[in-house]
Amino acid sequence: MRNIRAVIFKELIHILRDRKTLVLIALMPLMQVMIYGFGVNTDVKHLRTYVYDQDQTYLSRRLVDSFVHSDYFVVEKKSFSLQDVSAGLNKGRAQAVLIIPPKFTADILKKKGSELQMIIDGSDSTPANVALNSSQAIVSAFLQSERLIQVPVMPITFQPRLWYNPDLKSTFFMLPGLIGLVLQLMVPMITATAIVREKERGNIEQLLVTPIKPYELILGKIIPYIIIGILIAASIVTAMYFMFQVPIRGNIFTLFCLTLVFLIVCLGLGLWASTVADNQQQASQIVMFFAMPSILLSGFIFPREAMPVVVHHIGYFIPLTYFVKIVRGIILKGMGFGDLIAQVWPLLLMAAFVIFFSIKRFGKRIA
Amino acid sequence: MNNIAIQADKLTRKFGKFTAVDEVSFSLPYGSIFGFLGANGAGKSTTIRMLCGILAPTSGTGQVAGFDVQTQSELIKTAIGYVSQRFSLYSDLTVTENLTFYGQIYGLSNSDLKNRIEEVLLLSGLDKYRNRIAAELSGGWKQKLAIINAILHKPRIIFLDEPTAGIDPISRRSIWELLYQLAESGVALFVTTHYMEEAERCNTIAFISRAKILKIGTPAALKHEISGQLLQVECSPLMKASRVFSKLEGVIGITVYGTTMNINVKDLEKSKGLVAKAAKEQEINIVSMQPISATLEDVFSVLDTERET
């Protein structure tokens, strides 16, 4: 116990004395919250739109207005030629183009039927999808509101509702998962480099001839980083609650307990990386090697449901997959420990596995 | 109490097919300094690692402070101090922070530790730098810190792996003064070094070359063994002479020192004649030629050449 305490104390001095790293540790989580909160917004709105209105009547103008009022489209320019329209799309100034044919109103009133065209820049799939779906909805709503079609009496009234995130805000979706992302990015890295540093600077050589046991050294070195990990998680939770009004519906204690389990997995990864690497640079490369697929395949950004079967199954071996579900479950849906059992046990298993093997490897490396 | 600090008996360590240490035997009493000499890679560090209990010998036995190196390595660790070749304390911690950390690891109680830190700081003269970050100490002070760090828990045996490598002569002298003080207080010191004038300061020295101990003895005895077989020749051109003389019969080796050379020979009188004759034939101008007593460096180079031939 005394030895562990001595190592913890010494490690804290290292951390506090290394100002640059300390600033990084403090700023990185906040920076990520800002980036994902303000920057990474998958709610596509305000698409730049060119309007080529060849009709110029009240009805055509009302149609344009209903596009604008939807908030999905902004009239970037009123065009007067097809050349201008295609140039706008080609040069990326327009993401969508609305082309209203001549005699639009006249044809409608004569019940002849008119053709309305929208051209969408399909090179970026997300805004293209939004433009496609919303334009269809806008047009059919327009038809109803202008009483251009009879509203039929439906045998079924279909009323979909969105729970947990009714406005489909991407901050609600992104920020809770960010706790996992930041821990996955930072904790293995700082743990691995802290341990490898002892090897690199020859400190291990001196420790070897002291009566300290490998497990005492490991625990002493790891505990400060557990504290740092918890502080990182707390700072993200605070930032997303106060800056982005993400509601925390579940129990915060459950959240931190399970965060601790995930932290242990991350620490184990760092520890394992430190037994493989000879220097700090190698250690951080190994850690990054695992961090990238974790982030991409865990469902943090891309839905796992959309992945091919093989890739989907790889996700089951990634700790972040379970943790992302856990944090979203607790924060957005107010889930409790019992609801999350399916996610908790794989994570516990991984924690036990990674700690057992890395300590075993660490002991061997030292001997 | 038994007066033997270290007893090694045919200690051997193999790494695969490579034998790093081959049947090394010696004994070291408390209160004396043992100099372990040898080229890089000769097996010095492996021997130290075995004696410190961090590397198990392949065969042979060893007792350090009465504990067996095979089975009681954990007990050995509490009984010894170790100063490594490279500064291995924490360079971003201050002098006292380093001492506190290691003192705790060695199990000193807080009050004992406090007193002990004061003692060793005074002993080494490091008290004026007590709050300095270790990285900011000069090489000599760093090494003194490593030494007092190794004696915090009052071990009766200290291993020092090239404690003065790369350190200026004045600091080296004061480090040796510190080591003498320790030896005087009854501590056994096991020191490896490349510096021959340092080897002369030891009570006993052993030469190790390619895993085997070639000679063990007091510096005086070792020098005596080959004195009378050294011929000091001052001549010019020196390098040509060195080439010519090295081919003569009975010459074991030649060491060049500035304007003179020491020729190790098997038979002094016979070689004198051969050298003079060769000099005449090859137009080498001999200024002086006389038998001299050996330095340890001579002993070392003779031993090494003997082993090669």
* Nearest CB partner across the interface for B82, out of A3, A201, A209: A209
The mean pLDDT value for B146-160 works out to 95
* Nearest CB partner across the interface for B88, out of A2, A9, A205: A205
pLDDT level of residue B209 (50, 70, 90 thresholds): confident
Instruction: Give the separation between CA B272 and CA B290, rounded to whole angstroms.
Output: 9
Q: What is the pLDDT of residues B62-111, one digit of tens each?
A: 999 999 999 998 999 999 999 988 899 999 999 999 999 999 999 999 99
Q: Note the pLDDT of residue B308.
A: 58
Chain B touched by A338 (CB under 8 Å): no
> B265 forms bridges with which residues in the sheet?
B251
How close is the nearest chain A Cα to the Cα of B84, in Å?
Answer: 7
Q: What is the pLDDT of residues A271-328, one digit of tens each?
A: 889 888 888 899 889 988 988 889 889 988 888 888 899 999 999 999 999 999 999 9
> B234 forms bridges with which residues in the sheet?
B260, B288
**Phi then psi dihedrals of residue A21, to 5 deg:** -65, -40
Cα angle vertex B250, ends B247, B272, to 5°? 95
- Average pLDDT over chain A, rounded to an integer: 89
* Nearest CB partner across the interface for A211, out of B86, B97, B105: B105
Chain A touched by B113 (CB under 8 Å): no
Residues of B in contact with A205 (CB under 8 A): 84, 86, 88
pLDDT level of residue A41 (50, 70, 90 thresholds): low
Burial class (CB in 10 A: 0-12, 13-18, 19+), A166: exposed
Contact A10 B101 (CB under 8 A): yes
Residue A55 · residue A102 · CB < 8 Å: yes
pLDDT level of residue A253 (50, 70, 90 thresholds): very high
Q: What is the pLDDT of residues B16-66, one digit of tens each?
A: 999 999 999 999 999 999 999 888 888 898 999 999 988 899 999 999 999
In eight-state DSSP terms, residue A336 is -
The mean pLDDT value for A179-187 works out to 92
Residues of B in contact with A209 (CB under 8 A): 52-54, 77, 80, 82, 159
Residues of A in contact with B93 (CB under 8 A): 10, 13-14, 17
Chain A touched by B244 (CB under 8 Å): no
Higher pLDDT, B195 or A41: B195
Q: Note the pLDDT of residue B228.
A: 63
Percent of chain A with pLDDT over 90: 45
Q: What is the DSSP string of A189-216?
A: HHHHHHHHHHHHTTHHHHHHTSS--HHH
Residues of B in contact with A206 (CB under 8 A): 82, 84, 88-89, 102
ipTM over 0.85: no
Chain B touched by A200 (CB under 8 Å): no
Residues of A in contact with B160 (CB under 8 A): none
Instruction: Give the separation between CA A51 and CA A118, rounded to whole angstroms.
Output: 9
SS3 of residue A290 by DSSP: helix
Burial class (CB in 10 A: 0-12, 13-18, 19+), A112: exposed
Taking 60 as the threshold, does the pLDDT of residue B1 lie above it?
no
Reported in sequence order, the residue ranges of chain B that DSSP labels E, i.e. its strands, are: 4-15, 18-29, 33-37, 59-64, 67-68, 80-83, 157-161, 188-193, 204-209, 212-217, 230-236, 251-257, 260-265, 285-292
Q: What is the pLDDT of residues A130-181, one digit of tens each?
A: 889 899 989 988 888 877 777 677 788 788 888 888 877 888 888 999 999 9
Instruction: Give the separation between CA A62 and CA A127, rounded to whole angstroms.
Output: 24
Contact B82 A13 (CB under 8 A): no
Chain B touched by A13 (CB under 8 Å): yes
Q: Which residues neighbour A146 within 8 Å (Cβ) at sequence distance 6 or greater?
A: A59, A62
- Average pLDDT over chain B, rounded to an integer: 89
pTM of the model as a whole:
0.79
Chain B touched by A202 (CB under 8 Å): yes
Structure tokens at B228: 């009378």
Contact B105 A202 (CB under 8 A): no
Q: Note the pLDDT of residue A120.
A: 92
Residues of B in contact with A17 (CB under 8 A): 92-93
How close is the nearest chain A Cα to the Cα of B297, in Å?
Answer: 30
Q: What is the pLDDT of residues B126-148, one digit of tens each?
A: 999 999 999 999 999 999 999 99
pLDDT level of residue B198 (50, 70, 90 thresholds): confident
Taking 70 as the threshold, does the pLDDT of residue B8 lie above it?
yes
